[in-house]
Structure 1
Amino acid sequence: MPSETAPQERVWMSFPRPGVTLGETDTDRAAGFATWSAVAAAVADFEPVTMLVDPVAADAAAQHLRADIATVPAPVGEFWMRDTGPTFVLGQDGRLGAVDWVFNGWGDHDWANWLPDRPTARTVAEMAGAEVVSSALVNEGGGIHVDGEGTVLLTRTVQLDPRRNPEATQGTVEVEMARTLGATTPIWLPRGLHRDMDSLGTSGHVDIVATIASPGVLLLHSQEDPSHPDHAIMAHIREVLEAATDARGRHFEILDLPAPATLQDGEGWVDYSYVNHLVVNGGVIACGYGEDRADARAREILAAAYPGRKVVTVDARELFARGGGIHCITQHQPVSGPAALASLNGQGAASAAAQTSHTTQGGVR
């Protein structure tokens, strides 16, 4: 799996459909439609976007989406493409692969409408012309981050969640990360943010906690207010990451991304995070929270971490109210073919070959 900063072919998304996650009122639904559409428009200013649209949301998609965003009719249950869609990888010859994780609604929660999403990863893989890499691991794209050199960030409360993988062990998960992603150096975080651990959360996705901006450089969520539970949680996570070394044996240079000043909403402590951004060709699509000073500070940090890319802010409060952010609703597809080999960033031929030479069946249980 190449770094998220590698050249991209396009970004995939799913348009929200009516249901519990979108909201019960017309106001809730309109806000969700508008925010997903705003993210798609921001991405489309940099690279192509393809949006899966369930037939029940076709009229809303036609009303809200910009004309240059491609739409494809397909079943949609939960509309967090980072988790329901495939994770793209490159083979040693540059061929495009797509890891088809098992998705069970972040642990088979009773509120999650995940059954329609069973074919999503393979549907996207087919449209992208990718070879499928099958996996029996229940996992989501929001639960991993890689540096393209063999390092992967994981969370014990996600991959080892008994509601996801009751028989998996740390060792079997690590073998599966090496087989599917070419990631040979796992770094395990102990848990996720406070809000994300509740009954409506993912149990600790890494993509609101930390991301590797470039090899050896890590962007880390920082909650500066000691009254927020995430203040202590992030202090512990920071200790883990300070002690860790990546696939090249480096200790990370850690860059803090301070949370905005807002601490709570109507449901309790918020997990607003600027870590949950999307890197695109020539740009970064950043979460905003209606706080000019904090949003501007995040743009400055992101611009420094991703030199040469324009940072654009999209208000993400309606996303986080539903359980995620900009990274969560998007899935990037890297450029493939011989010209894409450089994006492997020096991964060994053996680990790259393990990613996709043909359709692969695998298991971790």
Structure 2
Amino acid sequence: MTWTMPSETAPHECTWMAWPSSGYTLGDTAADAERARDTWAAVANAVAGFEPVRMVVSPGDEQIARARLDGAIELITRPLDDAWMRDMGPTFVLGDDGRLGAVSWIFNGWGAQSWATWDNDELIGDAVAELAGAELVSSPLVNEGGGIHVDGEGTALVTETVQLDPGRNPGWTKHDVEAELARTIGATHVVWLPRGLTRDGQEFGTRGHVDIVAAVPGPGTVLLHDQRDPAHPDHEVSAQIRRSLETSTDAAGRAWTIVDLPAPAVLTDADGPVDYSYVNHLVVGGGVIACSFDDPNDDRAAEILADVYPGRTVVPVDARELFARGGGIHCITQQQPAAASRR
């Protein structure tokens, strides 16, 4: 069987999410918990306006979630540690015969981070695969869905700081990673970007997920997080990633058309330089769920997203509470493509 991860713009069966139930994401206070729940619900309800949502909820949190979520959203009870479905959940693929598959990566808390727990979350990939009726594709690679981005035509974007992280895959080479990505998601050409954003490389980050710096909205086109202010350390990060893209091609040999997605104007919060990014959006059936930050650049970012995803309605959702916890809208969602037999 040959498996291929479709572009995120391909038709979806549904979007998977997980409800914030404990730990760092839920926060230390009742007010923190309310903000987390309200933000996850806002994203889920926005997605539900376009396609079905299946929400995994820890035992005992069903009523809390139900009170905030659109009535059409399905709740599925499973034990959870955290709520980042993109990373702990499976990566869905399609077989060359049209069947649905689900790659279950090894999940170890973003490289065995000291603050993370994953006894429950490491089982979610297999559980969601079964719930989706997908054929399980097990992988020995420690990886997360936020660590890869594809065009559906054989190109995969990754970062050296994630797949080659000693906390994830000690001893693995680029060749090893590329071979596994070819086997599992059909990547025939891997573009290695040097790193992710500065905050994302710090204590409560992922060590550099690609889905916060670059995304592929269509063949030969890449959206680039563009930090234009030299006062922010990601100004140089954006330049590094641009150089990598300018000297690479996609799987078809096309030079990239780079579309700059300007970073929000805000540069810092109480903890230092922010990693706010409009790149971390979710494409859904007929729409784009976009991060907003009550920022002067929100409208411009929405215009750019509307341009690169023609015919889709851009729906902004305030993502500041997500980024305060280490991620964005793309990070808490995982699309399930429509298999041939279900379209």
Q: Higher RCO, 1 or 2 (CA under 8 Å, sep at least 6)? A: 1
- Paired residue secondary structure (2:157): strand
What residue number does 2:340 align with? Answer: 337
What residue number does 1:104 align with? Answer: 108
Which letter does structure 1 place at the counterpart of 2:114?
Answer: D
Task: Say what the alpha-carbon RMSD is for the aligned residues.
Answer: 1.0
What residue number does 1:298 align with? Answer: 301
What residue number does 2:77 align with? Answer: 73
- Paired residue secondary structure (1:220): strand
Q: CA deviation at 1:338?
A: 5.0
- Paired residue secondary structure (1:41): helix
Q: CA deviation at 1:122?
A: 1.1
Structure 1 CA distance for aligned equivalents of residues 60 and 83 of structure 2: 13
Which letter does structure 1 place at the counterpart of 2:318?
Answer: D
Structure 2 CA distance for aligned equivalents of residues 46 and 178 of structure 1: 31
Which letter does structure 1 place at the counterpart of 2:160?
Answer: R
What residue number does 1:17 align with? Answer: 21
Pairs within 5 Å for 1:121-136: 121-136=125-140
The answer to whether the 8 Å contact 1:93/1:338 transfers is: no
- Paired residue secondary structure (1:235): helix
Structure 2 CA distance for aligned equivalents of residues 285 and 58 of structure 1: 24
The one of 293, 307, 327 aligned to 1:324: 327
The answer to whether the 8 Å contact 1:102/1:135 transfers is: yes
With 52-61 and 218-227 compared, the bigger mean Cα shift is at 52-61
What residue number does 1:274 align with? Answer: 278
The one of 154, 158, 161 aligned to 1:150: 154
Residue 55 (structure 2) pairs with residue 59 (structure 1): no
What residue number does 1:363 align with? Answer: none
- Paired residue secondary structure (2:332): coil
Residue 288 (structure 2) pairs with residue 284 (structure 1): yes
Q: Which runs of 5+ in 2 are unaligned?
A: none
Q: CA deviation at 1:339?
A: 7.3
- Paired residue secondary structure (1:328): helix
Q: CA deviation at 1:261?
A: 0.8
Q: Which runs of 5+ in 1 are unaligned?
A: 341-365
After TM superposition, the score normalised by the length of structure 2 is 0.97
Which letter does structure 1 place at the counterpart of 2:155?
Answer: T
Which letter does structure 2 place at the counterpart of 1:140?
Answer: E
After TM superposition, the score normalised by the length of structure 1 is 0.91
Which letter does structure 2 place at the counterpart of 1:215?
Answer: P
The answer to whether the 8 Å contact 2:13/2:336 transfers is: yes
Size of the aligned set, in residue pairs, is 339
Residue 228 (structure 2) pairs with residue 224 (structure 1): yes
Query: Equivalent pairs: percent with the same residue?
Result: 62
With 149-158 and 51-60 compared, the bigger mean Cα shift is at 51-60
The one of 156, 159, 166 aligned to 1:162: 166
Runs of 4+ with >6 A deviation: none
